[in-house]
Amino acid sequence: MEILGLLMDGFAIALQPLNLGLIIVGCALGLIIGAMPGLGSVNGVAILLPITFLVPPTGAIIFLAALYYGAMYGGAVSSIMLGIPGASTAVATTFDGRPLALQGHADKALIAAATASFVGGTISVVLFTFFAPPLAHVALVFGAPEEFALMLLAFATFVGLGGDDIAKTIFSICIGLVLSAVGLDIMSGEPRLIFFDIPGFFRGINFLVLAIGIYGIGEMLWTIEETRATGGAKISEATVTFKRTMAALREIMGAWKAGLMGSFLGYFVGILPAAGATPGALMAYGVAKQISKDPDKFGKGALEGVVAPESANNAASTGSMLPMLTLGIPGSPTTAILLGGMVIWGLEPGPLLFVEQKEFVWGLIASLYAANLAALLINIAFIPVFIWVLKMPFTILAPIIFVLCLIGGYAPTQSLHDVWLMVGFGIVGYLMRKLDYPLAPAVLAIVLGPLAEPALRQSLLINDGSFSIFFSRPYSAPIMIVALILLFLPLIKLVVNKVRVKKAAA
Amino acid sequence: MRRLVKTTFGVGMTFGLALTAVVGVAQNKAFAAADWKPKKPVQFVVMAGKGGGADKAVRLIQSIIAKNKMAPYAFTPVNKPGGSGAEALVYMKQKNGDDHTIMFTLNSFYTTPLRQPGLGIDITTFTPIARMAEDTFLLWVNSDRKDINNIDDFVKAAKAKGKAWIMAGTGKNSEDNLLTDFLNKAYGLEMKYVPYKGGGKVAKQLAGNNADSTVNNPSEQLGFYEAGKTKALAAFTPKRLPLFPDAPTFKELGKDFVYFMQRTVVGAPGMSAGAAAYYQKLFTKVFNTPEWQKYRTKKSLQGDLLVGDGLMAYWKNEREVHRQMLIKMGVIKS
């Protein structure tokens, strides 16, 4: 087995004292950065990129990859504890992670997130080790039609299984899609929806601004109202004891199906350039709900709802390194920066990297195994601290969250425009919630919209406006058909329900 | 020793340039200007998104400055990719008179203000600092196309396919679009231009056979080219590129057409003369570092260092060239 030999050489590199130290420091830093709402792996990697010039390239990529990994673990922390996704990859984790925390099970949710991340990370690194070249080929032939089919599938897994009020869900999606269309349209080269000629809209609306707005600020407003009405939530019931942890682990084992599915799905979506970890995690959540025996539990604190997206986003973050290394195409915004780093270190990503830079590639792969274990241990060690924070009185916690939200909104673009926008979304989000509109579909739409729209228009442009292109290609046709079936499921449900109601009335 | 000579040369050159910059300013200002230094971290605005060619260059420059301790404060990259540079340009305009904001620009520096006069951007009010390089363009096809080995084969194949021939590029009315229009006009083709987000994605479309041709920069295709997945047919440069000796220039092929993408550092409008002189000197030093020179060679970058008035003259000329191109494309009227 040539691969095993190479992997052993890789471990020899990854376990050198300097590199091992870098892995541990990187994971810990990443965990903290990921846990801060708004500061995701993208910012962490970008900020720390220049520091890596102090160590050799292999050490540098190991450090940044560990940071990336740590941030994936950390993203779940703010999703669960505060209900604010720390990064787009952790959006799906809020759906059930937050309810679990509100029910006093924050410890269980955090342990589930950590172990699921570990499983997803490990499975994907193993896949990476043995199947990199053939998968690189799949990533290469994936064109615009396939990309669109995949995005549609991501939508469909959600909508098809969506909330109780289909009309409100669709309304919410539409709002998200409109917001995602703001900014420059690359297909026509013209700016769109530049409200009141404010230059900040040229950049478009960042997903994080919307997510922090409605989940952070909106959620806080909501909690203030709730706390006044009920006199405090059950949130502080969570504690870390050996007995509770063991019970939690047993329960998490029961969600193995969701974890396994999330890992594979996340990895395969991750290797496709442009998709990245966010659609992977969202799809994993949707599929987990579909295969669950008790789908009604989802959104109300289902453990599978934490396990599936968390295993998927870690698997996808490993997966997205594949197109970066073999094609020189970043699979996610974070790998785009890593790619920049590689160029600066004098490495040329591309099909030849695996041949010419064996030490670098295998050192990195081996370090992913080590980073995974390090991140798990560090994360578990920190859980009591997180729980302690959660027990702070809400009157103290709320202002801290508010400040974190403002920083999180400002940090990525350093523009006050985004901060105001975020506050606005927070208020609108709160009102929508009062009116019982689901907010998750809007967030989903603003994440997937900018990926789906150009892919759709590119495909149609190539094929002179005919939709047949989606059904005539070997990869896009099956994905498209599954997506359409899932998409029309609620419509069929709606019609069937109407008919039933009529019959009942008659 | 060689490095020392290079640095001395650079310093000497900048002194001259600093003097020229100062001449135009009132005498009393000139004295204070000579020793201006940043008093806080410098914002380094990137006119494009994270991970693209411009962004990579800025992060390299940032690290060169930090590693060689060339400035008392850090240079922090801030990406403002919105609206093909419109967001960055408006931002810079608002920073009028600011000595701590500089920007790394591309050719959208000319085209965006031309296409959107409503923004009220006059690039001649910006402070010229230094042109660090000019990126080049080549015409590429997939290596599977054994039937295409030169421009004549290309024209024949593209003519046969007509409107079904897909040329992938980076956004409508971008540099790639201008070049596609040129090829269509020059060779009587009807290639269909399909925009993608970013040069890396464009390169991938070609390598994955999802496009028939591209006009990528060498840095974008290098990985695939070295792996033998794509090949270059011709170059939009005045002379053949050392990295691609087999690709003739369009000039050689009888079409007098040369096109570059500037990689230039500009300061906010109304920047003080002292600060402008400081940055010109600094970026001259950066230009002469072995790291930047190595990057230039690797990425097949052309274009010598250009600072101050010379850079302003270059902008005015390039803006006129782009105005004519956009008029020909029918994007703008005058």
Tell me the pLDDT tens digit for each residue of B219-260. Answer: 888 888 988 899 999 999 999 999 999 999 999 999 988 999
Please give the pLDDT value at position A234: 66
CATH of the domain at B171: 3.40.190.10
Give a three-class secondary structure readout of A297-362.
HCCCCCCHHHHHHHHHHHHHHHHCHHHHHHHCCCCCHHHHHHHHHHHHCCCCCCCCHHHHCHHHHH
A 4-63 → B contacts, CB under 8 A: 42, 46, 49-50, 53
Give B67's contacts in chain A (Cβ within 8 Å): 50, 53
Say what the pLDDT of residue A363 is: 87
Query: pLDDT (tens digit, 9 = 90+) per residue, A336-378?
Result: 778 777 877 777 777 778 878 888 888 888 888 988 999 999 9
Please name every residue paired with B104 in a beta bridge, in sequence order, or none if there are none.
B46, B265
Q: How far is A26 from chain B (nearest CA, A)?
A: 20
ipTM strictly over 0.90?
A: no
pLDDT of residue A43: 75
Q: Give how far B27 is from chain A: nearest CA, Å.
A: 37
Q: Name the residue among B174, B195, B224 with its Cβ closest to that of A350.
A: B224
pLDDT of residue A228: 66
Among all residues of chain B, which has the CA nearest to that of A451?
B197
Pairing of strands B101-105, B261-267: antiparallel
Q: What is the pLDDT of residue A129?
A: 86
The whole-number average pLDDT for the span B286-297 is 93
Residues B59 and B182 in one domain: no
Using CB atoms, pick whichever of B163, B171, B227 lies closest to residue A350. Answer: B227
Report, as an integer, the average pLDDT of B145-156: 95
Is A504 strand, coil or helix? helix
Domains of chain B: total: 2
Contact A289, A298 (CB under 8 A): yes
The reply to whether B179 and B300 lie within a common domain is no
Can you give the pLDDT at residue A164? 65
Task: Check CB contact of A143 with chain B, cutoff 8 Å.
Answer: yes
User: Residue A60's domain spans which residues?
Assistant: 2-505
In this prediction, residue B34 has a pLDDT band, given cuts at 50, 70 and 90, of low
- Inter-chain contact A50–B201, Cβ cutoff 8 Å? no
* Assigned token pair, B115: 């296409």
Residues 6+ apart with CB under 8 A from B276: B21, B127, B128, B129, B267, B308
3-state helix/strand/coil string of chain B: CHHHHHHHHHHHHHHHHHHHHHHCCCHHHHHHHCCCCCCCCEEEEECCCCCCHHHHHHHHHHHHHHHCCCCCCCEEEEECCHHHHHHHHHHHHHCCCCCCEEEEECCHHHHHHHHCHHHCCCHHHCEEEEEEEEECCEEEEECCCCCCCCHHHHHHHHHHHHHHCEEEECCCCCHHHHHHHHHHHHHCCCCEEEECCCHHHHHHHHHCCCCCEECCCHHHHHHHHHCCCEEEEEECCCCCCCCCCCCCECCCCCCCCCCCEEEEEEECCCCCHHHHHHHHHHHHHHHCCHHHHHHHHHCCCECCCEEHHHHHHHHHHHHHHHHHHHHHHCCCCC
Q: What is the count of structural domains for chain A?
A: 1
Tokens found for residue A46: 């970008």
Task: Give the mean model confidence (pLDDT) for residues B201-226.
Answer: 90
CATH number, domain containing residue B63? 3.40.190.150
Q: Which amino acid is at B180?
A: T
Question: Are B74 and B91 in the same domain?
Answer: yes
- The answer to whether residue B170 sits within a structural domain is yes
Cα separation, A398 vs B6, whole angstroms: 57
Is the residue at B247 inside a domain? no
Whether residues B121 and B144 share a domain: the answer is no
Residues B120 and B268 in one domain: yes
B306-307 and B213-214 strand pairing = unpaired
Instruction: Look over chain B and give the mean of its residue pLDDT values, rounded to a whole number.
Output: 86
Question: According to the model, what pLDDT value does residue B215 have?
Answer: 95
Asked whether the beta carbons of residue A327 and residue B77 sit closer than 8 angstroms, the reply is no
In a shared domain, residues B116 and B146: no
Nearest Cα to Cα of residue B237 among B220, B256, B223:
B256
The answer on B209 and B166 residing in a single domain is yes
Residue B94 is assigned to a structural domain of this protein: yes
Are residue B23 and residue B125 in the same domain, yes or no? yes
B13 and B106 co-located in one domain: yes
Instruction: Judge whether B251 lies within some domain.
Output: no
How far, CA to CA in Å, does A164 sit from each of A254, A299, A498, B254?
27, 12, 14, 67
- Cα(A460)–Cα(A145) distance, integer angstroms: 8
Model confidence over B70-101: pLDDT tens digits? 999 889 888 887 777 888 898 899 899 999 99
Segments forming the whole domain that contains residue B231? 138-235
Q: Give residue A276's pLDDT.
A: 72
User: Is the CB of B293 inside 8 Å of chain A's CB atoms?
Assistant: no
Residue at B83 is within a domain: yes
Q: Residues B168-183: pLDDT tens digits?
A: 998 888 889 999 999 9
Read off the pLDDT of residues B127-137 as tens digits, 9 standing for 90 and up.
999 999 999 99
Residues B9 and B123 in one domain: yes
Q: Which residues of chain A have pLDDT under 50?
A: none
Specify if B253 maps to a domain: no
Per-residue tokens: B124: 């001649």
Residue B38 forms contact with A (CB below 8 Å): no
Contacts of A199 in chain B (CB under 8 A): 82, 86-87, 90-91
Facing residue for A336 by CB, picked from B50, B86, B172: B50
Q: Is A474 on the interface with B (CB under 8 A)?
A: no
Triad B282, B284, B290: Cα angle to 5°: 105
The Cα of A201 is separated from the nearest Cα of chain B by a number of Å equal to: 8
Largest CA distance in chain A: 78
- In the numeric block, which tokens belong to residue B37? 């230094």
Whether residue B208 and residue A142 make contact (CB cut-off 8 A), yes or no, is yes
Same domain, B117 and B169: no
The SS3 of residue A238 is: coil
User: Cα separation of A282 and B99, whole Å?
Assistant: 45
Torsion angle, alpha carbons of B115, B116, B121, B124, to 10: 10
**Residue A178 is inside which H or E element, if any?**
helix A166-180
